[in-house]
Amino acid sequence: MHFRTGYTKLIVIFVAAFSFSFAKESVEVNEIQTNNPMPIVLWHGMGDSCCNPMSMGGIQKFFEENIPNVHVHSLEIGDNYLTDIENSYLMNVNEQVSLACAKISADTALKDGYNAIGFSQGGQFLRAVAQRCPNPPMKNLITFGGQHQGVFGLPRCPGESVKFCEIIRRMLDFGAYTNYVQQHLVQAQYWHNPLNEEEYRAKSLFLAEINNEVVKNETYKTNLKKLKNFVMILFTEDGMVDPKESEWFGFYKSGQDKEIVRLHDSSLYTEDWLGLKEMDEQKKLHFLQAVGDHLQIDLNWLKTNIIDKFLYPK
């Protein structure tokens, strides 16, 4: 479509700006003693791809090197590297989730269950998979910098030198909740305007729906509660996600964009729209902090706090 093809070259130019920053030189390898480890599904973030060696490819390699015999399925939303990147900006999120569900279902190595790890927007997208597609079963969900309550701003969006992020900003300012923008801009589909909550709930094609903010879908609640653990990692110096507390389901108080309401004080929790309160009482919810900016992941930290504690505990 014309909207997509007009930006393909711009995406290629600045995709490297979204790559991970991770430290790996000091990782201590302690082999996990298992012949049949639970498989892993990964979903990348905005401007990335399944197999970028500087980000998801490196993460996949890290898991494979530290977990003998593990099967890792890094989701590719598209037919190739470029369309995977492009779709992270321009493909309807509900269609992406449906495609991800189909890919997961078709992978026979995942038939008995899998652990899911989402990075940035891939976090809330994998949560939608858990809520909508319970078979094969997702066992643990780990989200690194996921925007579970959406975003209200792009405070440090890379790529301004080629104007792509400025185009995104203009579209969101022009009308994040117009049908055209909602259908064709991924970030608009989790754009959460606290200054106009009524319009957000009425016109958000993705986020308001998966957060059960309008229609209370009991199936979503039932399916999410099947998780063994739901682990949310917030980056303490995050300059990309606004507000960063969205990574823990926090967000701005309705009617303004200064005061933050944490998950436990929100209606989503107190009225238990998604089952998070019940999961919390069962000690299934885990709120972790990683020191650093958005997706600055120390691989030693990843192994100690995620692999050894939640994925393959000793």
> Is 181 in contact with 175 (CB distance < 8 Å)?
yes
294 catalytic, yes or no? yes
Determine the Cα–Cα distance for residues 279 and 259; give it in Å rounded to an integer: 26
* Full DSSP string of 79-90: SSHHHHHHHHHH
Q: Is 120 a catalytic site residue? A: yes
- Among 232, 250, 85, 236, which Cα is nearest to 152's? 250
Q: Report in angstroms the alpha-carbon separations of 219 from 128, 134, 140.
A: 12, 10, 18
Name the H helices within the chain: 2-5, 8-14, 56-66, 81-90, 93-106, 121-132, 164-175, 179-184, 197-203, 207-210, 218-224, 267-270, 276-281, 299-302
137-150 burial, b for 16+ CB within 10 Å, e for fewer? Answer: bbbbbbbbbbbbbb
Instruction: Give the Å distances, CA to CA, from 198 to 68, 134, 163, 194, 210.
Output: 50, 30, 31, 9, 16
Look at strands 138-144 and 229-235 and give their pairing.
parallel
* Cα–Cα dist 302/72, whole Å: 16
Task: Name the burial class of residue 258, with classes exposed (0-12), middle (13-18) and buried (19+) by CB atoms within 10 angstroms of its CB.
Answer: exposed
Distances (CA, A) of 194 to 31, 81, 276: 47, 35, 21
* Diameter over CA atoms, the chain: 54
The two beta strands, 251-252 and 260-261, are: antiparallel
Among 49, 84, 204, 238, the one annotated catalytic: 238
| From 49, 55, 74, 120, active-site residue | 120
Catalytic residues, by residue number, are: 120, 238, 294
